[in-house]
Amino acid sequence: MSSPAARHRRPSRLPAAQSRPSAPAARAGHRKPQRAVSEPVQPAAAARHRKPSALQGKPAKATAVTALAVSAAAASAAATQWSAGTSGHPAAARASAMSAPSAKLGAADGRQGAGAGPAGPSAVAAADQQPALIYHPRIRLNSPQPPRPKGRHHRPAAAVASPPASSPPRVSSNPYSNPLRAVTRLIPERVDMGVDFGGSGPVYPLGDAVITNATGSSSGWPGGGWITYRLTDGPDAGLMVYVAEDVRPTVAAGEVVTPSTVIATVYDGGTGIETGWAMPDGASAESQLPEAGGIGGSGPFPTMVGLSFENLLRSLGAPAAPNADGSGYGALPPGYPAA
């Protein structure tokens, strides 16, 4: 008996004579005819081993490198041309400094992307053909600088006249003061041994001085007043001055006085006062000395010593005596102001 597997085995669909063809033969029966394909050309050794450019597929970076290369070449040309004419210009220095890193960057990209795009030698050659134009917001190397526009509130500078040089204040050569400046109803009378006046009020010294005599009861002068002082400053320092007749002394001998010290008071006694140059010892008027002509109270007048004191008073603001322009008598000793 046959085995159970043999009884239930299904018969083969194909007879032994019609068995399946081999795999290659089956594929050959359904294979499509191949097209004639030319053998591909092998690339050169340099092309086979060349690394792809870093700029391939990156048009934005290639454009930026091209712009940098162009500006570097233009800046280098302009800086070279400028330095030949005006060396040291700040704009040329800045253009030269900017061109250095740009040129290095352009050279590096040119080596990496040679033949791969506009960043190669062709871009440098194109940059050499571009005109050298350098732009700066305030400085143009290829054209004169335009005038600065005037603002809305601009006002032209007005010509200001320089103030005249102020002259230094005039300094009087005479440091003395008018001794009769406070006498009221001052009346000039005449020039004799000194100068006679009428009026009333205080009397001051000419300048800083020392009182040598001060009395109101002198027998040699009408009214009895006799005051003398020696000047201690100014051009006439050392000379002696007297004030006589209708005066009452307000100081004593030995006092140091100034031009603001009241040394006597004039009163209306009918005679008036007389003031002038005194003898060195203060005994009397200088005109009575032999060297001054020895002229006393009887004249002739005006004396040269009296005219000398008259001129000094007039220079200080006192009124002129009626005979001030007359010819003087006697002599003026050395050391006294001119008559």
Full-model pTM: 0.52
Q: Are residues 98 and 192 in the same domain?
A: no
Among 92-106, 150-164, 247-261, which is the least confidently predicted range?
Answer: 92-106
Distances (CA, A) of 39 to 33, 36, 232: 18, 9, 136
Distances (CA, A) of 178 to 202, 315, 326: 12, 9, 23
Mean pLDDT rounded to a whole number for the chain: 72
pLDDT given at position 115: 42
CA 213 – CA 175 distance, rounded (Å): 24
Between residues 288 and 63, the one the model is more confident about: 288
Q: Domain with 241 in it: what CATH number? A: 2.70.70
How confident is the model over 226-258, as pLDDT tens digits?
Answer: 999 999 999 999 999 999 999 999 999 999 999
Residue 335 placed within a domain:
no
pLDDT given at position 51: 53
Among 64-78, 107-121, 174-188, 199-213, which is the least confidently predicted range?
Answer: 107-121
Q: How many domains does the chain have?
A: 2
pLDDT given at position 169: 38
How confident is the model over 35-63, as pLDDT tens digits?
Answer: 544 454 454 444 444 555 544 555 555 55
Q: Are residues 199 and 311 in the same domain?
A: yes
pLDDT given at position 230: 98
Residue 29's pLDDT band (cuts 50, 70, 90): very low
Q: Are residues 193 and 87 in the same domain?
A: no
Question: Domain range for residue 123?
Answer: 59-128
CA 208 – CA 261 distance, rounded (Å): 9
Q: Are residues 311 and 193 in the same domain?
A: yes
Q: Are residues 119 and 193 in the same domain?
A: no
What is the radius of gyration, based on Cα positions, of the chain?
64
Residue 150 placed within a domain:
no
pLDDT given at position 128: 52
According to DSSP H, which parts of the chain are helical? 4-7, 23-30, 45-49, 59-85, 90-112, 121-128, 304-315
